Structure 1
Amino acid sequence: MADHAGQNTVLTAGFAQIPKGTTLYEVSTMVGCVLIIDADRDVICDASFSFVMDKTSEFLVSLLLGKSVKDGCMQEITPAVQERFLAPGQGAVLQAIRAAVERYHEKKW
């Protein structure tokens, strides 16, 4: 477990509905994304997703670590997810990430 004490980090979360008719929908109707952001640099330093299988979350985290969350960041994040996360619910994952980033920007001091 990462220790974020003494760092200027913020935890933000976003959620999105998984499309009906997918296998993933049968397991869970929503996907959650939690991002821990270094607020000094606007960079993702940790993340987690609400998937049943740990490997799915671990893989998505590896795509996000070190990515900027500055305005326009989804132009970098979206292609990385689209090209490398070839699983049902890809759009929901992107929407959950987008929601978490937007929440961060809404509350940023």
Structure 2
Amino acid sequence: MRTVIKYVKPYLFTALFALIIKAVSVFSELAIPKMLAIIIDENVPKGDMEAVLQNGALMLLFAVLTFLFNVIGNRASAHVTGWIARDLRSDLFKKTLYLEACDTDRIGLSSLTS
């Protein structure tokens, strides 16, 4: 676990940002059925068309925000993952440069490069 934390630490702010954005996205996505329940249970029986339209517009706004938050969160997560993978590959490459010849022969060049 310490090894993983060493690679995540430089990108902790972006990783936490992605996590928070994804959490907001989940909560906004879960709010949409609740709004629909309010429309069906409260507004429709009263015949309040204005409230139905307002809550429908609010649902649409939440859907758009959910989409945007998902895109932003996924992009941030992908960036962090790419950065961590780049650092891991770089460290692995540096480590293989200093292997003894007998270790390189034992492991095999194809295993070292993949």
Query: Considering the TM-score relative to the shorter chain, is it more than 0.5?
Result: no
**Higher RCO (C-alpha 8 Å, min separation 6):** 2
Could you say which structure has the higher helix fraction? 2
Q: Name the TM-score, length of structure 2 as normaliser.
A: 0.30
Structure (1/2) with the larger strand percentage: 1
For the pair shown, the structure with the greater C-alpha radius of gyration is: 2
